[in-house]
Amino acid sequence: MPRIGATIMLWRSLRGRTLRVAITGAGITLTSLLVLVLTAAHRSLVESVRDYAGQPTIDLWVAPEGTDNLIRSSGLLPSWTDDSIMATPGVAAVGPLVRGFLTVSSATNSGRPLTLMGIGIKPNALGGPPTLRAGRNPTGAEETALDRAAAYRLNVGLDDTVLVNGTPKVVVGLTSGTNLLATQFAFFDLDAVRLSLGMPERYSFVAVQLEPGADRSIVIQRLASRLHHVEIMTRDSFVANNVREVAAGILPVMRLVGLLGITVAAVLVVLLIQGMVEELRGEIAVLLAVGASAGSLGILLPLRAGVLAVAGVAAGSAAARLLALILDRVAPTVALSFAWDDDLRILGIFVAAAVLAAAIPVARLRRLDPLEAFRP
């Protein structure tokens, strides 16, 4: 108990100046906010890909040979592919899809065009939007369902008209889980998109639903024997391919920016603790002279840094969620998705960085001579 009392009092005596601590805490909050937002943006992107490519109604994806993802693909399937798949025993339903980038503009957006990832679907077939926030799926050539972030960017809502590659279409649905940040999904009638893209007899993918109880591997074998020059992927592997593809673009930048953020936080902590050690040098010498152990002081300072990191990241986490709420209302283009395990991982990294950073000035503290207490 006396030792705990001594530790508490030592802890209190090793306080930095309030303003300096506040500035460092704010720095940690901002840098952790940056890392959290980047992570949440990445998570949102991955979730969008999962939401679409991983729809539970789709068991298999059939793509042209050499194409293993939705994001970057150029191959095409012949138009008889869906009939051939549908005729395969074990297949319950198919959804032929055409994917292509389309230019979309609106009168209410000053005519500034957006390039959206257009998905052509058959009415009530597989491969439609994973979640409809409002309205319905397009059922005719003059209709579209837009991702709600795209609708925000185009400044349109339900029943408004947009120009798709110059052709007017009415917005009949708003979707979510379809925002890839750099672009968004827009769903159209299959034939209309084929016409817009100039490939009336082709598909990009075919989504396949199996009959209940059908053996997936046997159906894959059957499909492989019927179709040539195609890739047949399970839902999970298709999702993994798409996640890999979107991550390939954003992850290296995200990691670099995140690393820079953590480095800035660590430098702030070094400056704070170094400042504290310099400022309290005489007092630390007195503590060492009267019997405090250098070891306990050497633990308490990094502990202070760790506590500051926890407080900073907690504030950053709260700020990130607040920011996400605001963005969702005022600028849904930037979708953020949070997960507590991301927060905990980032907290761990920041605390480790802060404690390690504090170790630098603490190492200098160990060379402090208690006899300095005797100097006037």
6 contributes a contact to other proteins by CB under 8 A: yes
Q: In whole angstroms, how close is the CB of 368 to other proteins at the nearest point?
A: 13
Q: Which is nearer to other proteins, 10 or 170 (CB)?
A: 10
Q: Which is nearer to other proteins, 336 or 368 (CB)?
A: 368
Binding residues for other proteins restricted to 14-43, rule: CB under 8 A: 14-15
367 contributes a contact to other proteins by CB under 8 A: no
Position among 215, 293, 363, 366 found at the interface with other proteins (CB under 8 A): 293
Q: Which is nearer to other proteins, 300 or 335 (CB)?
A: 300
With helix as H, strand as E and coil as C, how does the chain read? CHHHHHHHHHHHHCCCCHHHHHHHHHHHHHHHHHHHHHHHHHHHHHHHHHHHHCCCCCCEEEEECCCCCCCCCCCCEECCHHHHHHCCCCEEEEEEEEEEEEEEECHHHCCCCEEEEEEEECCCCCCCCCEEEEECCCCCCCEEEEEHHHHHHHCCCCCCEEEECCEEEEEEEEEECCECCCCEEEEEEHHHHHHHHCCCCEECEEEEEECCCCCHHHHHHHHHHHCCCEEEEEHHHHHHHHHHHHHHHHHHHHHHHHHHHHHHHHHHHHHHHHHHHHHCHHHHHHHHHHCCCHHHHHHHHHHHHHHHHHHHHHHHHHHHHHHHHHHHHHCCCCCCCCCHHHHHHHHHHHHHHHHHHHHHHHHHHCCCCHHHHHCC
Bridge partners of 179, per DSSP, are 184
370 contributes a contact to other proteins by CB under 8 A: yes
Beta-carbon count within 10 A of 280 CB: 19
Q: Which is nearer to other proteins, 224 or 371 (CB)?
A: 371
300 contributes a contact to other proteins by CB under 8 A: no
Size of the site for other proteins (CB under 8 A): 28
374 contributes a contact to other proteins by CB under 8 A: yes
Binding residues for other proteins restricted to 257-286, rule: CB under 8 A: 280, 282-283, 286
89 contributes a contact to other proteins by CB under 8 A: no
Position among 195, 250, 289, 356 found at the interface with other proteins (CB under 8 A): 289
Q: Which is nearer to other proteins, 286 or 356 (CB)?
A: 286
Which range of residues in 56-64, 107-115, 333-341, 366-374 is near other proteins by CB under 8 A?
A: 366-374
Which range of residues in 70-78, 231-239, 251-259, 365-373 is near other proteins by CB under 8 A?
A: 365-373
Q: Which is nearer to other proteins, 28 or 292 (CB)?
A: 292
Position among 89, 159, 217, 290 found at the interface with other proteins (CB under 8 A): 290
Q: Which is nearer to other proteins, 1 or 330 (CB)?
A: 1
Residues of the shown chain interacting with other proteins in the complex, contacts defined by CB under 8 A: 1-3, 5-6, 8-10, 12-15, 280, 282-283, 286-287, 289-293, 370-371, 373-376
